[in-house]
């Protein structure tokens, strides 16, 4: 009997993951593979699209082997991805036009600064829900069209395709037959009108991006296409769901209702709150983006994007050699009573929400002769929690929804000290899901629902269990911690 497995492809910033789920929602197998990060210049971050594709085929093969299954066992596929990362490729040969520009990359600041000086930020803000920042795909495309010789002419002729990583993988999986994306990824480009749910001709004209390079946009739960035979995959496997990683995590956390909020701790931190079918006012410091309701239909969400979270811990490990494994950080943090006055603001790529300053850089302040590595490690972990608190305070004030608990997922939720401090500095319970990979879980749920495999999501969601971290920092101490953090951020920004 052939097992109807659901394959989730989770293509992230530092690696690619494939997870197979059974028809009852049980995880059957998983595989993960890192790929190379390229830093050709300061503040430039690149990926090789071909390496990403190879890693995708590799993890699918390994997951199937681990589960002792073949490609014929896969009933449907869902794709979730790092969002704003930009790929351009030749539509005829399928070859990438150089490396992908990663969401962390800041070279597009020359584009966004010019647009700001021209007084155009309000136009982009009202139509896209985003701010003018090089984080998003549009400025990256504009930079490539301007700086790669002959590229603008080729794009105007219709020889070039643009896509976020989901589009690139969809193109490859379907053998070059489908050039498409979903609303959640399109809403991260600064080219998509989230009120009308379509590409915006005015914004395309401002950024000088031709319509010919843009993918078709569909709802997140859609029959996007079917695979061709390659690697471990057979022909004809339907691809029934695509979502950006943070929207997939929101869906994975079952935050289907207005006011429900989650945070994903990865390379960066991404706080997302479901605000329903209506946008309302555009709150300064937060993004308005497109997410999904339970049926996979578009809804709106507030988002706070924190650029550096787990990447700060990775830097302490790989750049400074403070420890060998990230799992050591909780013990190190608890080995000292506090940070010893050390405050770390990891603005390696500028600051995202709620400050949106691409030009500042990270600092470690309060160093004394008595400062040790444990103090700096603790300050790094606390910086993740403080940045999250900055976003949630603003989100609660602007949305009108009181946040009574925070659903969390991602690798750093395995760090007890960080979770304890996060609950304490927020003053609300933090709920850690028993499924750390909520991004993959979310896209698997939607793909399975659209394929008719998991019809009753409520019964699937009820199986989840949570570890609850209750706040244990008294109100007066919390206020001191927050005041100290905000003072250091203000000093950096001044």
Per residue in 233-272, pLDDT tens? 999 999 999 999 999 999 999 999 888 999 999 888 999 9
How many CB atoms sit inside 10 A of residue 229's CB?
12
Token pair recorded at residue 124: 């982009």
* pLDDT above 50 for 1: no
Residue 97 has pLDDT above 60, yes or no: yes
Mean pLDDT confidence for 76-88: 97
pLDDT tier for residue 455 given thresholds of 50, 70 and 90: confident
- Specify the residue for token string 């943090």: 333
Tell me whether residue 399 is in a domain.
no
Q: What is the extent of the structural domain holding 158?
A: 5-246
What average pLDDT does range 177-188 have in this prediction?
98
Residue 275, in any domain of the structure: no
Q: Could you tell me if residue 393 is inside a domain?
A: no
The set of residues, in sequence order, having a beta carbon less than 8 Å from that of 375 and lying 6+ positions away, is 336, 339, 340, 342
Is the pLDDT reported for residue 436 higher than 80?
no
Question: Which residues have a Cβ under 8 Å from the Cβ of 301 and sit 6 or more positions away?
Answer: 247, 250, 272, 273, 274, 275, 288, 289, 290, 291
pLDDT digits (tens, 9 = 90+) for 183-220: 999 999 999 999 999 999 999 999 999 999 999 999 99
Contacts 24+ apart (CB under 8 A), 17-24: 17/59, 17/437, 17/440, 18/56, 18/59, 18/60, 18/62, 18/63, 19/63, 19/437, 19/440, 19/441, 19/444, 20/63, 20/64, 20/67, 20/69, 20/74, 21/444, 21/448, 23/75, 23/453, 23/454
φ and ψ of 479, to 5 deg: -65, -40
Q: What is the pLDDT of residues 336-356, one digit of tens each?
A: 999 999 999 999 988 988 998
In 3-state terms, what secondary structure has residue 264? Answer: strand
- Residue 150: how many other CB atoms lie within 10 Å: 7
List the beta strands (DSSP E) in 316-465.
Answer: 343-345, 363-365, 406-409, 430-433
Query: How confident is the model over 134-159, as pLDDT tens digits?
Result: 989 999 999 999 999 999 999 999 99
* pLDDT confidence of residue 2: 56
Residue 48 lies in a domain: yes
The answer to whether residue 385 scores a pLDDT higher than 80 is yes
Between 461 and 270, residue with greater pLDDT = 270
**For 421-429, what is the mean pLDDT?**
96
Percentage, residues of the chain above pLDDT 90:
83
Residue 253 gets the label, from left (phi > 0), alpha (psi -120 to 50) or beta, of: alpha
CB 163 within 8 A of CB 215: yes
Max mean pLDDT among 282-286, 425-429, 454-458 falls in: 425-429
Tell me, yes or no, whether 256 lies in a domain: no
**CATH number of domain containing 14:** 3.30.420.40
Q: What are phi and psi of 144, to 5 degrees?
A: -65, -45
Token pair for residue 218? 């569909």
What is the pLDDT, as a whole number, of residue 454?
85
90, part of any domain: yes
Predicted local distance difference test score (pLDDT) of residue 282 = 78
Gap between the Cα atoms of 9 and 439, Å rounded: 10
Indicate the number of domains in the chain.
Answer: 1
Note whether residue 240 is domain-resident.
Answer: yes
Determine how β-strand 298-306 pairs with β-strand 343-345.
unpaired
Asked if pLDDT for residue 463 goes beyond 90, the answer is no
DSSP H/E element including 417: helix 416-426
**What is d(CA 7, CA 62) in angstroms, rounded to the nearest whole number?**
12
Q: Which of 84-98, 205-219, 403-417, 457-471 has the lowest mean pLDDT?
A: 457-471
Mean pLDDT of the chain: 94
Nearest alpha carbon to residue 310 among 249, 362, 269: 269
pLDDT of 433 reads 86
| pTM, rounded to two decimals | 0.88
Q: Residue 301 domain-assigned?
A: no
Structure confidence at residue 401 (pLDDT): 82
Q: Is the pLDDT of residue 179 over 80?
A: yes
């Amino acid at each position: 009997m052939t097992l109807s497995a659901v394959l989730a492809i989770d293509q992230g910033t530092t690696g690619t993951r494939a997870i197979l789920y059974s028809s009852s929602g049980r995880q059957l197998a998983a595989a993960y593979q890192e790929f190379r990060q390229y830093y050709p210049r300061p503040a430039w971050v690149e990926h090789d699209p071909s390496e990403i594709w190879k890693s995708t085929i590799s993890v699918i093969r390994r997951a199937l082997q681990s589960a002792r299954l073949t490609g014929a066992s896969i009933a449907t596929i869902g794709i979730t991805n790092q969002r704003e990362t930009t790929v351009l490729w030749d539509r005829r040969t399928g070859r990438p036009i150089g490396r992908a520009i990663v969401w962390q990359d800041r070279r597009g600041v020359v584009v966004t600064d010019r647009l700001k000086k021209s007084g155009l930020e309000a136009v982009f803000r009202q139509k896209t829900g985003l701010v003018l920042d090089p984080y998003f795909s549009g400025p990256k495309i504009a930079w490539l069209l301007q700086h790669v010789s002959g590229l603008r002419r080729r794009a105007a002729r219709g020889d070039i395709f643009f896509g976020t990583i989901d589009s690139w993988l969809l193109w490859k999986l379907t053998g070059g037959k489908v050039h498409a994306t979903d609303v959640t990824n399109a809403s991260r480009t600064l080219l998509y009108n989230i009120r009308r749910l379509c590409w915006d001709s005015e914004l395309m004209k401002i950024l000088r991006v031709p319509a010919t390079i843009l993918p078709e946009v569909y709802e997140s739960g859609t029959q996007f296409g079917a695979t061709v035979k390659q690697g471990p995959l057979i022909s004809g496997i339907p691809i029934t769901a695509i979502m950006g990683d943070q929207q997939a995590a929101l869906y994975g956390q079952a935050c289907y209702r207005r006011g429900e909020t989650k945070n994903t701790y990865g390379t960066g931190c991404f706080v997302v709150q479901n605000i329903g079918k209506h946008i309302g006012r555009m709150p300064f410091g937060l993004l308005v983006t497109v997410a999904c309701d339970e049926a996979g239909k578009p809804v709106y969400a507030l988002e706070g994007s924190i650029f550096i979270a787990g990447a700060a811990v990775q830097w302490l490990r790989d750049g400074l050699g403070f420890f060998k494994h990230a799992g050591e950080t909780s013990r190190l943090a608890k080995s000292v009573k506090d940070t010893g006055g050390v405050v770390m603001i990891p603005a390696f790529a500028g600051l995202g929400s709620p400050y949106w300053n691409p030009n500042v850089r990270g600092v470690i302040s309060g160093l004394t002769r008595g400062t040790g590595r444990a103090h700096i490690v603790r300050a790094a972990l606390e910086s993740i929690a403080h940045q999250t608190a900055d976003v949630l305070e603003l989100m609660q004030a602007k949305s009108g929804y009181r946040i009574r608990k925070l659903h969390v997922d991602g690798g750093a939720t395995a760090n007890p000290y960080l979770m304890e401090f996060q609950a304490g500095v927020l003053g609300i319970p933090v709920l850690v899901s028993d499924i750390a990979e909520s991004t993959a879980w979310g896209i698997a749920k939607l793909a399975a629902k659209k394929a008719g495999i998991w019809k009753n999501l409520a019964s699937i969601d009820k199986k989840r269990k949570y570890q609850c971290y209750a706040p244990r920092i008294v109100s007066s101490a919390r206020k001191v911690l927050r005041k100290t953090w905000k003072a250091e951020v203000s000093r950096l920004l001044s």
